Amino acid sequence: MDSIDRSMLRLLQDDATLSNAALGEKLSLSVTPCWRRRKHLEDQGVVTGYQANIDRRAIGLDLLAFVHIRINIHSDKTADNFEAVVRSRPEVLSCHKVTGDADYILQVVASDLDAYGDFIERVLRKQTGVASIQSSVALREVKFSSKFPIPDES
Amino acid sequence: MDSIDRSMLRLLQDDATLSNAALGEKLSLSVTPCWRRRKHLEDQGVVTGYQANIDRRAIGLDLLAFVHIRINIHSDKTADNFEAVVRSRPEVLSCHKVTGDADYILQVVASDLDAYGDFIERVLRKQTGVASIQSSVALREVKFSSKFPIPDES
DNA sequence: GGTGAAAGCGAGGACCA
DNA sequence: TGGTCCTCGCTTTCACC
């Protein structure tokens, strides 16, 4: 992984539809070496896939919330069960075990407050070990990106 | 936007490299109508772009944190300034104005705790109006997805 | 919604510096 | 590593039904 690879990652994060020729031009590389590097990044698992980005509002997902969850039964079984549920629910965009006041922070989307409330009450609140749930509903999206900054060296 | 469009969005979120032929086959559509629908979704802005997904660890971004920020000067100028800084910093993946205890929740990545600390102290803490900063560092990534669930109707 | 056709592109291979 | 062909089959994107 050198600086050309990192530039390639930056470009592909911005626009995955770039052809090898267009990509190569931006990197001062011709088609084949460009293609070889790209394939290498894919085979190594640095590039994990290509996806279309969708406007959340356009598909009716008007609500996004951060959910802070505290767990009061600290057994592996409770954690495994909770995490399996979270992974299986498509409305949960992300879930992280975190330091600080909460045990888990989740990002959840829903079409409106009703649907969100349903999810909290009927799914999350029902899980064993869930001691408290605190929601922070997004009032405004200041920034939303699924692009990582690529460090100059790694 | 009908159910075929929604299925198309689901498929393209999973794999943006699908050709119109492959996509059409899954949707029981021939190439041209498939391409027309796809183009329509792009032109409407439902599909906002295509991007490569990258393994955060592979590029050395070992740390992800949620940052809860409280603001004590509630003027438009303070807010605009803060939001502009946040938008300009690539290590900030997302920033939302939220309900609840915090005014803003940010998602921030960094290569390690040192780099994260630097960002908090040298960038965020320096902004006027920032009253408190509370970090929740991710200990484990239970789920991380940048795919939205596509509702059956919208 | 569907066909067909022109032009372009992608995935490789072969081979050289 | 990087570069230059070259090829085959597929893709995109058009005009037209």
The three state secondary structure string of B6-46 is HHHHHHHHHCCCCCHHHHHHHHCCCHHHHHHHHHHHHHHCC
Residue B78 pLDDT greater than 80, yes or no: yes
Interface of A with B in 45-84 (CB under 8 A): 45-56, 58-61, 64-66, 83
Strand duo B130-144 + B63-71: pairing: antiparallel
Residue A95 to residues A35, A131, B109: CA-CA distances in angstroms?
35, 17, 15
In chain B, which ranges are E strands? 47-54, 63-71, 92-98, 104-110, 130-144
Mutate to test the interface with B, among A148, A152, A153, A154 (most CBs of B within 10 A): A148
**What is the second-level CATH architecture of the domain A56-137?**
2-Layer Sandwich (3.30)
| CA B86 to mean position of chain CA atoms | 14
Residues of A within 8 A of B99 (CB-CB) are 135-137, 139
Domain(s) of CATH 1.10.10.10: residues in chain A:
3-43
Question: Reduced to 3 states, what is the DSSP secondary structure of residue B49?
Answer: strand
Look over chain A and give the mean of its residue pLDDT values, rounded to a whole number: 97
B140/A96 Cβ within 8 A: yes
Which pLDDT tens digit goes with each residue over B79-137?
Answer: 999 999 999 999 999 999 999 999 999 999 999 999 999 999 999 999 999 999 999 99
Nearest to A144 by CA among A109, A120, A102, A117: A109
B154 — pLDDT class (breaks 50, 70, 90): low
Give tens-digit pLDDT for A29-86.
999 999 999 999 999 999 999 999 999 999 999 999 999 999 999 999 999 999 999 9
pTM of the model: 0.96
- Binding residues for strand C (Cβ < 7 Å): A 19-21, 31-32, 35, 39; B 4, 29-33, 36-37
Residue B97 confidence (pLDDT): 98
Q: Tell me what pLDDT residue A153 has.
A: 82
pLDDT of A151 > 80? The answer is: yes
Pick the residue from chain B with its C-alpha nearest to A8: B52
* Confidence band of B153 (pLDDT split at 50, 70, 90): confident
Residue with tokens 């921030």: B108
What's the Cα-to-Cα distance from B5 to each of A78, B2, B23, rounded to whole Å?
Answer: 39, 5, 11
Tens of pLDDT, residues B23-59:
999 999 999 999 999 999 999 999 999 999 999 999 9
Chain B residues with CB under 8 Å of A12 CB are 51-52
Q: What is the pLDDT of residue A154?
A: 63
Domain span(s) for CATH 3.30.70.920 in chain B: 56-137
Q: What percentage of chain A reaches a pLDDT higher than 90?
A: 97
Q: Which positions ≥6 away from A147 have C-beta within 8 Å?
A: A13, A14, B51, B90, B93
For domain B3-43, give its CATH number from 1.20.58.1880, 1.10.10.10, 1.10.3720.10, 3.40.50.920: 1.10.10.10
